[in-house]
Amino acid sequence: MNADKKTLLVTGGSRGIGAAICRQASRAGYRVAINYVSNQDAAGALAAELESVGGEAFAVRGDVGNEADVVAMFEAVDKAFGRLDAFVNNAGIVDVKARVDEMSAERVARMMRINVVGSFLCAREAVKRMSTRQGGKGGAIVNLSSAAARLGSPGEYVDYAASKGAIDTLTVGLAREVALEGIRVNAVSPGITETDIHASGGQPERVARMQDLLPMKRAGTADEVASAVLYLLSDAASYITGAILNVSGGR
């Protein structure tokens, strides 16, 4: 193990945008911790893939909506790599298409527990390890927002949009809070992107249905979003904090 290499933890890293971030980060020289909650096979296969081409990676289970899991996940990274230089708050859920007047309290609470509370808990643990005020060496955090935060997702999932609005506020507030502690905090806000999140929300045809309405007449890819994330983590973005970068094809 090369202890001089930077270490990155990506929540929800076993598939979609998270997996694309892990692959690009590994190619850029990061040691990568791949968080998953249920798909152990996919996370393990990705870690093996990265290691097969000379990278350093491991899969770590944890439900970001569970505080004990979050703490254990970060402690596992401490044990495996001994440091944390970068963190991507990527894990999140969407639910089936519904109007607000059709949503149960349980649905909304689950959405906020995972997408909002989970992101806060993970950011808390990342700051504890990175902050120069707490003995760390600084670092970078990137949160995954969504164009839904601006657009509201009426008639589809306003609860998801609201959770991503909270991520935007977390990004701006935390960035200012830790700006003098060596930590930069930014967000990437994807638009319609070709991942399986649409199928998990009961709309596998959503990309095909929406793409002609987009200014660029196509959906984005997970790699395009990942490239924006890697830029914000990099030294090339050293004077950028509190930014929300739209990766939405003009939407």
Q: Exactly one of 157, 160, 231, 239 is catalytic; name it.
A: 160
Mapping DSSP to helix (H, G, I), strand (E, B) and coil, where does residue 110 land? Answer: helix
Q: Is 160 a catalytic residue?
A: yes
**CA angle at residue 60 from 56 to 65, to 5 degrees?**
140
SS3 content of the chain, % helix, strand, coil (to 5): 50, 15, 35
CA 172/CA 165 separation, integer angstroms: 11
Phi, psi of 97 (to 5 degrees): -55, 130
Nearest Cα neighbor of 241 from 189, 172, 192 is 172
Distances in Å between the Cα of 37 and the Cα atoms of 10, 13, 15, 91, 211 are 12, 10, 11, 9, 30
Q: Could you tell me if 10 and 21 are in contact, meaning their C-beta atoms sit under 8 angstroms apart?
A: yes
Which residues touch 171 (CB under 8 Å, ≥6 apart)? 143, 145, 185, 186, 187, 242, 243, 244
Helix axes 67-81, 118-130, angle to 10 degrees: 30
Q: Which residues are catalytic?
A: 160
